[in-house]
Every structure is written in C-alpha cells, then in structure tokens.
Copies of this chain bind each other. A is one copy, B any other.
Amino acid sequence: MTDSVPTIYDVAAGAGVSKSVVSRALSGAPGVAPATLARVKQIAADLGYVANANAQGMSAHRTHTLGVFVRDAATPFYGHLLTAFQEQASARGYRVVTATGSGSFSLVEERRALETLVSLRVEALIVCSGALPVTDVLPFARRMPTVIAGRPERDASISSVYCDESGGGQGLADHLVGLGHRRVAVMTLSPTSSLTQAARTRAMVQRLRSSHVDVAEIPCEDFGGELDGVDSLVQAVLDSGSVTALMAPSDSWAVAVLEALQRRGLSAPHDLSVTGYDGVTPFLSELLGITSWRQPLGLIGTLSVDDVVDQIDGRSAGTRHLAVDGELLPGRTAGSPGEFAALR
C-alpha cells in the first residue's frame, strides 16, 4: 500500500553513479557531465524522487523555512495574512509552516506552538496574535529573526509590521466628527484582550475628546463571552437618547451591533451610526456597507516576510518597526446625525 520512499542512493544506483553526483546534478551545481546530468534527472523523475528536506536541513544547516504562528486561522483576518506570507515566502525562495494554539487560546498552548516551530528549525518566526505578550516571544526572538505582524510593538529586539492603530482610530473618529456627531459611544477593550483593539479604541476616544465630542466609553469585557451581551450594550446606548454614533473595535463586533439593532427593528445609520475596523473580506461586502478602516493585510504580509528574510540573508542590519497606512472605507452604516434626528 505505502511504497517506501526512494532516497538519493536509489537514484544513484539507477543512474550508475555515486550519490555525490546525484546531489550535484539535482541541485544544479556545476561539474557534472551533460550526459550524466540528463541521465540522473531522468532516473530521479522515473522514481518520483523528492529530496528529504529534513536531511538537507541537517547537512546544510539551512531549512529555508519560515515559521508562522497564528492565533486563529479561522478568522479571515489571519487567513489573508497567511496567504500573503505564503506568496512572498515562495517568491523569496522560502517555505512556510504554520502552527496555532489548537483551539483554546491559552498562553501555554501558544508557547507550545512556538516550540513546535523551533523544533522544526525554522529560520525565522512570524508571529500573528493580538494577545500573546511580547515577553513570551522574546526568548525565541533571541534565537532567530522574528517579526510581529499585524500589531504594533516597540521592543527593540523584535521587528514589527502593522497598520498604524492610532492613525486608524483617529481617521474614523474624524470621519464621525466631520459627519457632525457630538456625542459618541466607543466600545473599548483592555490590552490583555487585544493589544490592537485596545490601541485603536483608545485612539478613537482621545481624538473624539480633543475634538470636543462627548464620549461614552463602554468596556467590552463586561459583556461576557465573545459577542454576547451586545444586546444590552446596544440597548443602553439607545436608552441614553443622546448618543448618535457607536464605534466598534472591529468589523466583527460591528456586525454584532448591527444584528442587535436589527432585532429591535432598527438600522444604521437611521437609528444609530455604526463603525467597524479591519475592512477585510468578507466583511467589507457592499451588502453590509460597514463604515470601517481597511488594513492592507497583503502589504503587511509581504513586508513581514521581507523583513525576516532580509535579516536571514544578512541584507538587513537589525530589527525594524514598520507602520503602514490604512484607509477609510466610508460605507453606509455611518451618516450625518441631523438627517435622521427628526425621526427619533
């Protein structure tokens, strides 16, 4: 049933040469007679020979492999990053292996996943997690080039590529201010829940305040498991009677808010303006029309790979912190409060 896998010795025997010649022929090294080269390639193909990357890694001290850690592959956000990593790594001659914390997002699980990557002797680490504390990554970063992708990080011993959270939060806040909102509710998160979502919501609050907007902060942790409790949150905002806009920490949360409105027969921006954050498919769908801030995940992925590969190749001196700009997605869920005021 399961054939034994052919080795370099099988190819050598078939071609009537030593394994050294086979190695050189297949790796494109010079110093192989054209005739033998053709013969070796032929035999290798016939046998379906595929070199053992483990053995190659042992001997050559290089695996040409990048290790990617993602918190939750089921989220489109990380899915897009993964795709970008894979693509750019391939373009740069590297392979990607990924590991996740298998379901439960416990920190010990995440550490274990990182160790798996190390055991594979990846040449660099790309870490994608909004929650994993940098102190857990640092011990690995001492061992190999490491980049944190998708979230800001100041530690000098580690690179990071991310979409400027302050700029995004401010951009969305300015958008609402421009629309005329004077009293806005912001769903806030603590850094332990999500460093990125905490940063952007903090930026929203600050920008609104400095624009003389009355801000109601709503800590989301109080609202229990994931997206539950959004109902009561929305109800409270509605009951206030004066809040005209609600800023969510992500598109996913925004959808939950829109659902809660819908359950009450209400809608955005008619009864309440709503904004999200991330702007990635499938949430950026025209159908939903969420007013959001788009993070250029493809670019972030590309730059992350470039950063660590440059470090591996010695083309880059040290670590870098790269902030890329996001973009406002106007959408239809945020409008001018005046337009609908009369109807309330």
Using CB atoms and an 8 Å cutoff, list the residues of chain A in contact with chain B: 1-3, 5, 48, 50-55, 57-58, 63, 72-76, 78-80, 82-83, 86-87, 90-91, 95-100, 102-103, 115-116, 118-121, 139, 142-145, 252, 255, 258-259, 262-263, 281-283, 285-288, 318
Copies in the complex: 2
Residues of chain B within 8 A of A55, CB atoms compared: 54, 58
Residues of chain B within 8 A of A75, CB atoms compared: 79
- Give A78 to B76 CA distance when docked, in angstroms: 10
Residues of chain B within 8 A of A76, CB atoms compared: 74, 76, 79, 282
Residues of chain B within 8 A of A118, CB atoms compared: 5, 50
Residues of chain B within 8 A of A73, CB atoms compared: 73, 79, 82-83, 86
Which of B100, B262, B285 is the one whose CB lies under 8 Å from A86?
B100
Q: Are B54 and A143 interface neighbours, CB within 8 A?
A: no
For the A-B complex with A48-B143, A50-B115, A74-B82 known, give 20 more contacts whose Cβ atoms are closer than 8 Å.
A2-B144, A3-B143, A50-B119, A51-B119, A53-B116, A53-B121, A54-B54, A54-B121, A73-B73, A73-B86, A74-B79, A76-B76, A76-B79, A76-B282, A78-B79, A83-B100, A255-B285, A255-B287, A259-B285, A282-B282
Residues of chain B within 8 A of A57, CB atoms compared: 54
Q: Are A3 and B119 interface neighbours, CB within 8 A?
A: no
Known: A52-B119, A76-B74, A139-B48. A1 touches B318 (CB 8 A): yes
- Give A224 to B2 CA distance when docked, in angstroms: 42
Residues of chain B within 8 A of A99, CB atoms compared: 86, 95-96
- Give A63 to B54 CA distance when docked, in angstroms: 10
Residues of chain B within 8 A of A120, CB atoms compared: 53-54, 97
Q: Are B282 and A262 interface neighbours, CB within 8 A?
A: no
Residues of chain B within 8 A of A116, CB atoms compared: 53, 95
12 A-B pairs, CB-CB below 8 angstroms? A2-B142, A2-B144, A5-B143, A50-B119, A54-B58, A54-B63, A72-B83, A73-B82, A73-B86, A76-B76, A95-B116, A252-B282
- Give A281 to B77 CA distance when docked, in angstroms: 13
Residues of chain B within 8 A of A282, CB atoms compared: 76, 252, 255, 282-283
- Give A102 to B97 CA distance when docked, in angstroms: 13
Q: Are B100 and A98 interface neighbours, CB within 8 A?
A: no
